[in-house]
Chains A and B, each alone.
Chain A
Amino acid sequence: MWRRALGLFLMIAAPAAAQESPARVVSMNLCTDQMAMLLAAPGQLLSVSSLARDAQSSAMAEQAKAYPINHGLAEEIWLLKPDLVIAGTFTSRASVDMLKRLGVQVLTVPPAYSLADVTDRLRLIGEALGRSATANAVIADFEARLSTLRARTGRRPSAALYYANGYTTGNQTLAGEILLTAGFSNIAGDGGGGRMSLEELAMAQPEALITGQPYPGASRSEEILDHPVVRQIRAAQASRSVTDSDWLCGTPFVLQAIEQLSRLRQDIE
């Protein structure tokens, strides 16, 4: 009886303790940068990573200019004396480990692998920032817009996501789910995807081809998107290159990618 009462008390007390929001927050990963910028209170976020300002990768490159940038190095982050550091699971592990050893509170956020993960990560970061109310508002808005986009149905044209080095992604990925939500069927099928050879792409003849936009500077890896086979599909079918920044990270900006792809699908019909 007493134990239960104590448990109940702790359950009430624990969130209250977490609500003591950190005053100095540093984010060191492109995706957590954007979510922190969306959710943090004015003055709460001290610094974002350098990639956040790169318009090719970041959907909030403009907003990121208002924050000092860091390069994910333990030293520079330590000097900012943060109460909380937000990092991605795969962000410079050595730096994150060192910050933990130095006693800094670090929240590692796994990447979003699905649309459900987007709301989950927003909630997680919102709680850590002590901004659950803002997070809930952003999530409610995201889900409302997502459900209107989802409502449209019809025939599902076949489509392929094709990137540098011949990589493609399947249904069990964020990009794959975005494609499905926009009303396409993915020729890469279920699973995570991987390398799809030009031969397989040519034989599948997808009705739509979706590629990323080329990065600055040349590379041999992106040359494949200029191969005669890809060019032929591009000429014969609908194709579009979608800005990477909208769906590289699982943020509410994925809705823009879904809208863009929905329009492509409507063009096909």
Chain B
Amino acid sequence: MTKALALLFALVLVLAIGSLSIGPANLPFADSIRALLAGGDGPLTLVMREIRLPRMLLAVMIGGTLGLAGAAMQGYLRNPLAEPGLLGVSGCAALGAVLAIQTGLSAAFSLALPLSALAGAVIAVLILLVLTGPRGETLTLILGGIAISAIAGALTSLVLNLSPNPFAANEIIFWMMGSLADRSMLHVWLAMPFMIVGLALLAGVGRGLDALTLGEDAAAAMGFDLRMLRLRIVLGTACVVGAGTAVAGSIGFIGLVVPHLLRGTVGGRPGPLLWVSALGGAAMLLSADIAVRLIAPGRDLKLGVLTALVGAPFFLHLVWRSRRQRA
């Protein structure tokens, strides 16, 4: 497991440097890194520090927390199909963010944007948990998730279509697919506090999730407070998904694919899976964000397109497998 962590960490590092060195202005690599670290007056420093650095940081933060949240939800619900994007948590967060922007709340008070997205995410997670109960029955979970996604998507489109601003309606695609283009350090600072709180909440759930694999009664007998565990997962997931979605739109499938791919490296234990999934999520989003810039430079291809192309076949495979297991 330590080896998996070290390898993934190295991968994230390489991809992060790659992300910093790719952009429409073909800058020489050595110069751009020097400008990033040493600064200076030229436009090079501006490009590196205000355009590429925030983009890379957001990819690491959002990808990492999406991987972590996916692993935590799957561990708690004991269901490999759980994932914030698929179950409408990201969609509700996007709705919250859109409401904050369209009501003018976020212009008056910038923290209103992530807070409102967080509120949307909390509502979605709570509805899901109430619907499925602690056992996470697959059919209820997926159907509930579809309903929540549909409602959130419809309301987001409604709000944007009613906006007096001529550009708003075109932004539906951003909120549904996600993008890291043209973000700035402001967005990093906006998301950071919520991500830290979410990380802190989710960091403590590993042993509880491990115990939960033995069943609720066994976990309770071992002294784990299941209500506390549940609260941490609800709030932790909502914090990270809310903050990420508020600045980058809803990016799906990372929380589904990454824990699934890495489960083998930690012997299937949900506790250690949290951390490898966090690194794996960061690596996946960094790769996706590099790919959108290489495939269609200057066109702002949305991240959700790539993550869904990779993730949806995985999802079908998981559905197929769970069907065979039940038969």
List residues of A whose CB falls within 8 A of some B CB.
164-166, 194-195, 197-200, 202-203, 205, 215-224, 227-229, 232
Contacts and interface: CB of A to CB of B under 8 A. Distances in A.
A160 to B, nearest CB: 13
Interface string B181-197: 11011100000000000
Given A197-B298, A218-B107, A228-B185, A165 B47 contact: no
A202 B182 contact: no
Interface string B25-53: 10100000000000000011011001110
Given A164-B167, A215-B166, A220-B171, A199 B186 contact: no
Given A219-B171, A228-B185, A229-B46, A199 B25 contact: yes
A245 to B, nearest CB: 13
Contacts of A197: 23-25, 181, 298
A221 B23 contact: no
Given A195-B299, A200-B25, A228-B184, A215 B167 contact: yes
A218 to B, nearest CB: 5
A198 B51 contact: yes
Contacts of A217: 102, 163-165, 168
30 contacts: A164-B167, A195-B300, A197-B23, A197-B24, A197-B25, A199-B23, A199-B47, A199-B51, A199-B52, A200-B24, A202-B46, A202-B47, A205-B43, A215-B165, A215-B166, A215-B167, A217-B164, A218-B104, A218-B107, A218-B163, A218-B165, A219-B101, A219-B163, A219-B168, A219-B171, A220-B101, A220-B167, A222-B165, A228-B46, A229-B46
Give the 6 A-B CB pairs with smallest separation, nearest first.
Answer: A217-B165, A221-B167, A199-B25, A217-B164, A219-B167, A197-B24
A10 B129 CA distance: 82
DSSP class of A's interface residues: helix, strand, loop or mixed? helix
Nearest to A196: B298
Nearest to A232: B46
Nearest to B293: A197
Interface of B: 23-25, 27, 43-44, 46-47, 50-52, 101-102, 104, 106-107, 163-168, 170-171, 174, 181-182, 184-186, 298-300
Contacts of A198: 47, 51, 182
Contacts of B106: 218
Nearest to B163: A217
Contact of B164 (A195, A216, A221, A222): A216
Contacts of A223: 182
Nearest to A163: B167
Contacts of A218: 101-102, 104, 106-107, 163, 165, 168
Nearest to A227: B184
Nearest to B164: A217
B51 A195 contact: no
Contacts of B24: 197, 199-200
B167 A222 contact: yes
A57 to B, nearest CB: 9
Q: Which of B43, B101, B298 has the most chain A CB atoms inside 10 A of its CB?
A: B43
Contacts of A164: 167
A229 B50 CA distance: 7
Contacts of B51: 198-199, 202, 229
A36 B78 CA distance: 68
Nearest to A220: B171
A44 to B, nearest CB: 31
B43 A203 contact: yes
